[in-house]
Amino acid sequence: MTSDRRDLVVTLNDEQEVAGLLQVPQHSFACYVLAHGAGAGMIHPFLNAVAMGLAKRNIASLRFQFPYMQKGLKRPDPPPVAHAAVRAAVAEASRHLPNIPLIAGGRSFGGRMSSQAQAKVPLENVRGLAFLGFPLHPAGQPSQERARHLDNVDIPMLFLQGTRDSLAHLEQLEPLVRRLGSRATLKLFNDADHSFHVPARLGKTDEDVRNELIGALADWIGMLAKSSI
């Protein structure tokens, strides 16, 4: 596999820039703009594995830091700032890869910020949203409140979720996906938690789950890319 990996600067405005990382395999047919979760930045091993796994399947990726992570802060940015970072990253992906479809989304907080941005004003050239563990509600507080904005998203959405995810109980998640109708696809990973960790006693490793997740994500992106030609 030939893959070009480049460090980028993603410009939000005249006063704010964040780091980005673009990975482009030689025969890319789509690009995933991959936002990190609340507690770890764009070079977290999980996101590295996703980017590498997609590259092996000829799918490019652009990762980026949210401003709070760039500054070394622990508290995530308020939604308007996070939305601006998502838009800037999408624009950067379009600039580098102008002729292929884009998918936005990411891990937990990053996926939700991407969908909120899409719900407010559609992200340019983005054909779908893919969530790697959508944080539907706080732990111990099952609700669909955090997903109300998804009613305003009119592009396909993929939910990749563990069945033991404490931030997305199935009794809340499955009715949500049904309500969204044909726009939403749900892929469940048995016994995985919000970090896609599985108990060792099950005879399956976290790497097994991660590889299954990357395969499901790549297949969905491939179908979406073909339908947009």
pLDDT digits (tens, 9 = 90+) for 57-79: 999 999 999 999 999 999 999 99
Assess contact for 129 and 136: CB atoms under 8 A: no
Return the structure tokens found at 142.
Answer: 């099952």
For β-strands 30-35 and 3-13, DSSP reports them as unpaired
Helix (H) or strand (E) segment spanning residue 37:
none
Q: What gap in Å lies between CA 130 and CA 132, rounded to an integer? A: 7
1 falls in which pLDDT band (50, 70, 90)?
low
pLDDT of residue 201: 84
Q: Using the CB atoms, write b or e for 87-124: b if 16+ within 10 Å.
A: bbbbbbbbeebeebbbbbbbbbbbbbbbbbbbbeeebe
Share above pLDDT 70 across residues of the chain, in percent, rounded to a whole number: 98
Q: In 10 A of CB 145, how many CB atoms?
A: 10
Query: Tokens 């590498």 label which residue?
Result: 52
Reported confidence tier of residue 229, pLDDT bands at 50, 70, 90? low
Q: How far apart are CA 154 and CA 152, in angstroms?
A: 6
Strand order in 16-25's β-sheet? 3-13, 16-25, 59-64, 30-35, 102-107, 126-132, 157-162, 184-189
Asked if residue 196 lies in contact with residue 206, where contact means CB atoms within 8 angstroms, the answer is: yes
Average pLDDT, the chain: 95
CA 15/CA 12 separation, integer angstroms:
8
Query: Each residue of 146-204: pLDDT tens digit?
Result: 999 999 999 999 999 999 999 999 999 999 999 999 999 999 999 999 999 999 887 88
Q: Nearest 5°: phi and psi at 109?
A: -50, -45
3-state secondary structure of 30: strand
Please report how the helices 79-96 and 109-120 are oriented relative to each other, as an axis angle in degrees rounded to 10.
80
Question: How does DSSP classify residue 42?
Answer: T
